[in-house]
Amino acid sequence: MKIKIKYFSDKISPLEYIGGKSDWIDLRSAEDAVLKKGEFRLIRLGVGMELPKGYEAHVVPRSSTFKNWGLLQTNSYGVIDESYCGENDEWMVPVYATRDTEIHINDRICQFRIMEHQPAIEFEKVEALSGPDRGGFGSTGKC
């Protein structure tokens, strides 16, 4: 699959897909950012893409993002669909700082993967479900 990509910054490393090692592709900060504890900010990622019809990008933090910078992605899980592909549609990640922190240009702060859209679904209303009762939400793992 080929995807058209526009770089909004020449200071970040080009994206690289490492097949076989990981399906996720790292995204880098396209700006230096100083955040104080409790601050919110949209961090520029320096890229925009034309995703194929029927596909979307799922953007999540890297496993080291919180450890290294104390950042939480405020929407927990970002979805960028194929309609977000205009000339000025730069990808960003919304973050909340849990401590004073500094991000530098080219720091790998999040990651994404390309996924097909969910298939069409039709809901059927029923009076009862046929599976075994597991005890409700949060009950898994109880002895």
DSSP 104: -
DSSP 122: -
Give Cα separations from 88 to 7, 92, 107, 109, 137 (angstroms): 11, 12, 22, 21, 42
Who's near 84: CB < 8 A, 6+ residues apart? 48
Choosing from 32, 81, 100, 133, the catalytic residue is 81
End-to-end CA distance of the chain: 47
Side by side, which strands form the sheet with 71-73? Answer: 40-44, 92-97, 71-73
Q: What percent of the residues of the chain are helix, what percent strand, and what percent coil, each to the nearest 5?
A: 5, 35, 60
Is 81 considered catalytic here? yes
Active site residues: 81
